[in-house]
A and B are shown apart, each in its own frame.
Chain A
Amino acid sequence: MPTEANRGSSKSSGANKELRAEELLGRVADRDVEALECLYDEFAPKLMGLLVRILCARPDAESALQEVFLRLWKEAPGIAQTKGSVAAWLVLMARHAAFQRLRAQRAVAARPAQSPHGQARTKEEKSAGKSADSARKERKPRERRSTKYDSEILLFLAESPQLWMPRPEDIALVNARLGLLQRAFNQMPKPQRGALELAVFEGYTESEIAAQLGEPLGKVNAGLRAAFTFLRHRQHAVLGTWTADI
């Protein structure tokens, strides 16, 4: 059983890791490949877990993982200037790399076997469609989302990291109490958790979630907002960051 001293040590180890990650990012900005390797060793399993959960197929997940680290290499100087959390940057960029792939796969899978020009699908298209179909049999088909919208979200994340990246010390605090915070997620009523999972791991919009669940849009909107309010309050309680406006 963990002692108080152990828990303290684990918390400071989480904080040290996060602060070390920012130092490594500074070195990556100075073109240090070894520093990028260290960040990869530290974060790749977490990112890969997320990517496999979203994309199902390991080769797709590994390809998205590579894309995220190549982007980190390219954009490290700008990211380092924000003084934000590199862990949070990696997770949010990994999510959007995965959703871009997922939407492309879904679009291919939703296409008829013959292209509008009467030609059979290419080998790559068949492979992508087959992979999406077989790995995600339980998922219902959906309308293709606007690629303009997708790229605008990605642009916001990529071009304005200073607007959204949390502070490293805040992420370190989350890491130190991850178990407690994730327990709060598991305590949510099942329907709310289900809707949340569709947004977090399937990349559905509110209206798509309503269609998936066969629920009225208003009910889904209210449920998702209530779920995030619940999580926010639990975070404030667990992290000890209550403020006057809550």
Chain B
Amino acid sequence: MDCRHLEDVYELFLLGALPDEGSLELREHLAQGCEHCLERVKEAARTVYLLSLTAKPVTPGPKAKADLLRLLLKR
């Protein structure tokens, strides 16, 4: 399958910004194991990671961690 038309949409796909049909086509293509696209989607994930970290870090309140640990110990 010629996947050149998918080249520029991996980032939008991971951001959830593609319309349904574009997203479906990409998922089906990835499931077929196209090595080039699997490499590109990993690269796109790196870009989404990078963009997400442009937000300034915020320290969560101490109760947030305590609540999480309490829930984990309950399980």
Contacts and interface: CB of A to CB of B under 8 A. Distances in A.
B57 A185 contact: no
B51 interface: yes
Interface residues of A, number: 67
Interface of A: 33, 36-37, 40, 44-46, 48-50, 52-53, 58, 61-62, 65-66, 69-70, 73, 85, 87-88, 91-92, 94-96, 99, 146, 149-150, 152-153, 156-157, 160, 163-167, 170-171, 174, 178, 181-182, 185, 196, 199-201, 203-207, 209, 224-225, 228-229, 231-232, 235, 245
B48 A92 contact: yes
23 contacts: A45-B57, A48-B60, A49-B53, A50-B52, A52-B58, A58-B58, A61-B60, A66-B67, A66-B68, A91-B48, A91-B53, A95-B48, A150-B16, A152-B24, A153-B23, A164-B44, A165-B45, A166-B46, A171-B46, A181-B50, A196-B51, A200-B15, A203-B16
A156 B51 contact: no
Contact of A48 (B15, B17, B48, B59): B59
Interface of B: 8-9, 11-12, 14-20, 23-24, 27, 30, 36, 38, 41-61, 64-65, 67-69, 71-73, 75
Given A45-B57, A45-B60, A174 B50 contact: yes
Given A46-B57, A204-B17, 7 more contacts: A58-B61, A88-B49, A92-B48, A92-B49, A92-B52, A95-B48, A164-B14
